[in-house]
Every structure is written in C-alpha cells, then in structure tokens.
C-alpha cells in the first residue's frame, strides 16, 4: 500500500506520521512542509499552520 493511500487530509497525514494525537504548539516536518498544531480537541486536530519549506532560500 502506498503511504498516500493511508490518509486523505493533512490531519490524517500528521496522525499517520506521529501515530498519536499531537499537542498544541507541536511542529511536524516532512515532505517539504512544516506543520504547527494550532488547536485540537481530545479526538481531532482542528487547526494547523503550514509552511512550504521546499521554497525556503
């Protein structure tokens, strides 16, 4: 199974990468992006901030 078949949202990607629910303020890097968790509940990632790190000079 291709890794991209394991998730269909950014939140799903983050959960797949961490294998757990992240904490507010936590940062996750991968595949040319950096994600910061802005808000989450006991069961869901509600809001993230994202940067395209592959464009950095």
pLDDT tens profile 4-41: 678 899 999 999 999 999 999 999 998 899 999 999 99
Q: Is 31 left (phi over 0), alpha (psi -120 to 50) or beta?
A: left
Number of folded domains in the chain?
1
CATH number of the domain enclosing 30: 3.30.465.10
Q: Is the pLDDT of residue 2 over 70?
A: no
pLDDT at 56: 63
Q: Is the pLDDT of residue 57 over 80?
A: no
State which residues form the domain around 46.
3-55
Cα-Cα end-to-end distance for the chain = 34
Q: Is the pLDDT of residue 52 over 90?
A: yes
Q: Is the pLDDT of residue 51 over 90?
A: yes
């Amino acid at each position: 199974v291709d890794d991209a078949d394991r998730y269909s949202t950014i939140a799903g990607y983050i959960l797949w990468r961490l294998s757990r629910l992240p904490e507010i303020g936590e940062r996750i890097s991968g595949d040319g992006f950096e994600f910061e968790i802005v808000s989450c509940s006991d069961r869901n990632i509600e809001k993230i901030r994202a940067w395209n790190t592959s464009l950095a000079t």
